[in-house]
């Protein structure tokens, strides 16, 4: 099981970001910390994480067992991911307190992946050292670009040089466990500029890279500029070329393309993120955090989609008064669970394995649903998809078109 504490504050609004984040003059960190700790305890108790049964061990799929999470004993938290906002703005004390609370309420094995999302502007060697001492053992650094003009367009507060320094410091402190984020498809960005940027990043990076095509989100400054005609919208074909180029370069550099936007070498896959794509259970803690788990502790026996209250002050008040601040709980029907298993699993190179499918659908096999004549068979014939002994997964060409494949597959699933 995974736990995702959210730190909702940022120092500055990035031009492309539509996350639930707040730029405030002063943060009451002690109160925030106390509430994160309290909500983590409450939700761990509700979920009775010790009853979770880990899945996916010992399967003989084509991608091997190394993709599966480390084999912990039951009742353990397998990963923690401090996200945000900008969680690297919080003090190591806060992270230590949350991790202590987790360890107190459930089992947190020593080797469990504990990631912190860090901005280069709040990732000095001293701070990073403090985070490590607090229990963080993996860093995900929001580099985004190594070009100052691009960083400015994105509204980032750091320079390319600061990003380099942060990554270098992180690699020293978290060798083999430092990831960098990059964005491509910026307005006006050329194929050449992107390739050069990626080359520079490859020289800098450790064993994990996330490449995100810029998504113009409603309500962001960047989207307003593009939709208002003040910045050029990148052409579709150029974006496809950029993605293709990047995949080729990273694979050539020894990376495994294990998810649409994620690449790892030397087995440095993100355990935490894989748990989303494998439809495992995760608990969201903090303002606006999302979760998916069965609330055994409340007598529930169905998987629920949960969202915590968005606004930090309201969230804090609710946590203080009732221990947690779940704003919305939706019981996911068996069909909805399978829809998530399918839509998320196909993002990975292992795809949806028979075993995982069987866990959610004991009576109707993956073959029974997608082996029958219909959309999946057509897509297989056209070469986008494979259904074999390993499971159902995208071919390389199909992965880039996944969002065109899924609606048809969902229709077939709904009929099945």
CB of 130 to other proteins, least distance (A): 26
Of residues 76 through 115, those in contact with other proteins by CB under 8 A are 83
* Phi and psi angles of residue 9, each rounded to the nearest 5 degrees, phi first: -95, 145
Check if the beta carbon of residue 3 is closer than 8 Å to that of residue 51. no
CA 14, 18, 20: angle at the middle one, nearest 5?
105
Of residues 192 through 231, those in contact with other proteins by CB under 8 A are 211-215
Of residues 146 through 175, those in contact with other proteins by CB under 8 A are none
| Between 301 and 381, CB nearer to other proteins | 381
The residues, any chain, with a CB within 8 Å of residue 37's CB and separated by 6 or more, are 97, 98, 100, 101
Provide the sign of the torsion angle of the four alpha carbons 248, 249, 254, 256, taken in this order: negative
CB of 261 to other proteins, least distance (A): 5
CB of 354 to other proteins, least distance (A): 22
CB of 239 to other proteins, least distance (A): 6
CA dihedral 337, 340, 341, 345 (to 10 degrees): -170
CB of 161 to other proteins, least distance (A): 26
The answer to whether residue 251 forms part of the interface with other proteins (CB under 8 A) is no
CB of 158 to other proteins, least distance (A): 20
Nearest to 270 by CA among 349, 345, 209: 209
Of residues 303 through 332, those in contact with other proteins by CB under 8 A are 305, 307
Count other Cβ atoms within 10 Å, centred on residue 29.
Answer: 15
Does residue 162 sit in helix, strand or coil?
helix
Taking CB under 8 A as the binding criterion, the range among 51-59, 71-79, 129-137, 339-347 that sits at the site for other proteins is: 339-347
Count other Cβ atoms within 10 Å, centred on residue 73.
Answer: 9
* Total interface residues for other proteins by CB under 8 A: 48
Q: How far apart are CA 19 and CA 8, in angstroms?
A: 9
| Between 202 and 401, CB nearer to other proteins | 401
**Interface residue with other proteins, options 31, 251, 253, 402 (CB under 8 A):** 402
Residues within the interface to other proteins (CB under 8 A): 4, 19-20, 83, 211-215, 236-237, 239-240, 243, 260-261, 273, 276-277, 282, 284, 288-292, 305, 307, 336, 339-340, 343-344, 347, 382, 384, 399-404, 406-408, 410-411, 414
């Amino acid at each position: 099981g995974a736990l995702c504490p959210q730190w909702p504050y940022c120092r500055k609004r990035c031009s492309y970001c539509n996350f639930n984040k707040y730029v405030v003059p002063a943060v009451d960190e002690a109160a925030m910390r106390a509430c994160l700790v309290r909500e983590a305890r409450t939700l761990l108790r509700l979920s009775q994480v010790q009853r979770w049964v880990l899945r996916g061990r010992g399967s003989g799929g084509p991608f091997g067992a190394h993709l599966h999470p480390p084999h912990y004993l039951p009742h353990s938290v397998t990963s923690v991911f401090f996200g945000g906002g900008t969680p690297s703005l919080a003090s190591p004390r806060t992270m230590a307190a949350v991790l202590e609370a987790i360890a107190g309420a459930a089992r947190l094995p020593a080797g469990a992946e504990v990631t912190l999302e860090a901005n280069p502007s709040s990732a000095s060697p001293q701070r990073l050292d403090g985070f490590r001492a607090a229990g963080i053992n993996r860093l995900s650094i929001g580099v985004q670009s190594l070009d100052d003009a691009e960083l400015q367009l994105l509204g980032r507060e750091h320079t390319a040089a600061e990003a380099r320094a942060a990554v270098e410091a992180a690699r020293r402190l978290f060798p083999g466990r430092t990831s960098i984020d990059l964005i491509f498809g910026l307005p006006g960005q050329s194929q050449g500029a992107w390739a050069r940027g990626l080359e520079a990043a490859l020289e800098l990076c450790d064993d994990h890279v996330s490449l995100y095509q810029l998504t113009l989100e409603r309500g962001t400054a960047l989207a307003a500029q593009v939709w208002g005609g003040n910045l050029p919208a990148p052409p579709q074909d150029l974006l496809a070329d950029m993605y293709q180029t990047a995949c080729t370069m990273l694979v050539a550099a020894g990376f495994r393309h294990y998810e649409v936007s994620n690449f790892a070498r030397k087995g440095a896959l993100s355990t935490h993120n894989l748990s989303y794509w494998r439809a495992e259970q995760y608990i969201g803690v903090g303002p606006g955090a999302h979760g998916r788990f069965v609330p055994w502790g409340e007598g529930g026996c169905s998987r629920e989609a949960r969202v915590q209250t968005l606004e930090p002050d309201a969230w804090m008040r609710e946590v203080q008064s009732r221990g947690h601040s779940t704003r919305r709980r939706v019981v996911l029907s068996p069909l909805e669970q399978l829809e998530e298993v399918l839509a998320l699993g196909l993002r990975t190179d292992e795809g949806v394995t028979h075993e995982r499918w069987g866990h959610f659908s004991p009576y109707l096999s993956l073959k029974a649903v997608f082996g029958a004549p219909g959309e999946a068979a057509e897509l297989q014939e056209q070469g986008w998809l494979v259904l074999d002994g390993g499971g159902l997964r995208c071919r390389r060409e199909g992965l880039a078109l996944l969002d065109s494949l899924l609606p048809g597959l969902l229709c077939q699933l709904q009929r099945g």
